[in-house]
Amino acid sequence: MYELIQVSDSSYYIQSPAKIGLVKLNEKDVCLIDSGNDKDAGRKIRQILDANGWKLTAIYNTHSNADHIGGNKYLQGQTGCKIYAPGIDCDFTRHPILEPSFLYGGYPCKDLRHKFLLAQESDTEDLTKEVLPKGFEVISLPGHFFDMVGFRTPDNVVYLADCLSSRETLDKYQIGFIYDVAAYIKTLEIVKSLTAKMFVPSHAAATEDISELAQYNIDKVQEIAGKIIDLCKEPLCFEVILQRLFTDYALTMNFEQYVLVGSTVRSYLAWLKDTDKLNAVFENNMLLWVQK
């Protein structure tokens, strides 16, 4: 873990729970794509930088999930580097309490206020074309989170953030986190058509061809949507739908899984309602979901 792996002349990634991109800008200066999940990750990144005599100039966050911004504060404090994040995710990175609050739908209890969902605040600026290193391209990847992006480097390596998961992860956990299902599918259809020297997803193996894995992720979304529709042959409230999904997929409920999978299921329900697959009805002061 935290091994530095070179994938082209100037592009690398650091093997970690969420892969961290590292790109050499010249013989001395480097930038990071994301920063790992916590202060310890930041320390290990710093050790790699020091061992190679590199100076960190900037961190470009793909999005604001805690496992991608957790090393920001430590690394910024140690190096004085700039930090950039896209759109709404910039606000979440500045004010990380927004993530567990958004997921829970209110002020999060202590069980949700920990590093897995709540990173430390960092001094973050808006990601714009003007602040990118020369030759970098931003790739819009909405769906998993609000304004998530990926990056294409000058030597044609594409960092894909969390826009897809490995087969092993999907087969084990089944329901990957999604904020906007329609945008997520659209993003994956675009990703299927991309070409690059190497693709580096945060939660899947680096590969020269991403199309098959992108389709596998699309198929999983359609499978889950079909299962939700099937469950709603009778009117069901959200909690019962969530319980049956956990039971059918042999998942284990805890606070983290309740908010992550729960938020995702709410997104599925909204998408299925907007696409006329489900109706939402109020009966006895309860919101119920049912097939159209």
pLDDT of residue 118: 98
The answer to whether residue 250 sits within a structural domain is yes
Alpha-carbon gap, residue 245 to 266, rounded angstroms: 12
Q: Are 9 and 128 part of one and the same domain? A: yes
The pLDDT of residue 247: 98
- The label of the residue with tokens 């005599």 reads 53
Q: 30 falls in which pLDDT band (50, 70, 90)?
A: very high
pLDDT confidence of 270, banded at 50, 70, 90?
very high
What is the pLDDT averaged over residues 237-266?
98
Radius of gyration of the chain (CA): 20
Residue type, 183: A
Give residue 242's domain range.
Answer: 229-291
Mark whether 10 and 130 lie in a shared domain.
yes
CATH number of the structural domain spanning residue 236 = 1.10.10
Per-residue pLDDT tens digits for 41-51: 999 999 999 99
- Residue 237, domain member (yes or no): yes
Q: Is residue 153 part of a domain?
A: no
- Residue 155 is predicted with a pLDDT of 97
Q: Which of 136, 151, 186 is the last residue of a domain?
A: 136
Domain match, 129 and 14 both:
yes
Question: How many Cα atoms occupy the beta-carbon half-sphere of 152 within 13 Å?
Answer: 12
Considering the domain boundaries, does residue 79 fall inside one?
yes
Domain C-terminal end among 109, 136, 163: 136
- Judge if 13 and 132 occupy the same domain: yes
Average pLDDT taken over every residue of the chain: 98
The pLDDT of 263-291, averaged and rounded, is: 98
The letter for the amino acid at 189 is E
pLDDT number for residue 120: 97
Asked, for residue 282, whether it belongs to a domain, the answer is yes
Grade residue 259 by pLDDT with cuts at 50, 70 and 90.
very high
Q: Give me 165's structure tokens.
A: 């998961």
Domain count, the chain: 2
Express each pLDDT in 8-28 by its tens digit: 999 999 999 999 999 999 999
Residues 8 and 130 placed together within one structural domain of the fold: yes
Shared-domain flag, residues 23 and 132 = yes
Entry pTM: 0.97
* In a domain? residue 251: yes
**pLDDT tier for residue 55 given thresholds of 50, 70 and 90:** very high
Q: For residue 198, tell me if it sits in a domain.
A: no
The CATH number given to whatever domain includes residue 74 is: 3.60.15.10
Residue at 183 is within a domain: no
- Give all strands (DSSP E) within the chain, no chain letters: 4-6, 11-14, 20-24, 29-33, 55-60, 82-85, 125-126, 137-140, 149-152, 157-161, 198-201, 278-283, 286-291
pLDDT tens, position by position, 89-145: 999 999 999 999 999 999 999 999 999 999 999 999 999 999 999 999 999 999 999
Final residue of a domain: which of 103, 136, 169?
136
Q: Are residues 125 and 236 in the same domain?
A: no
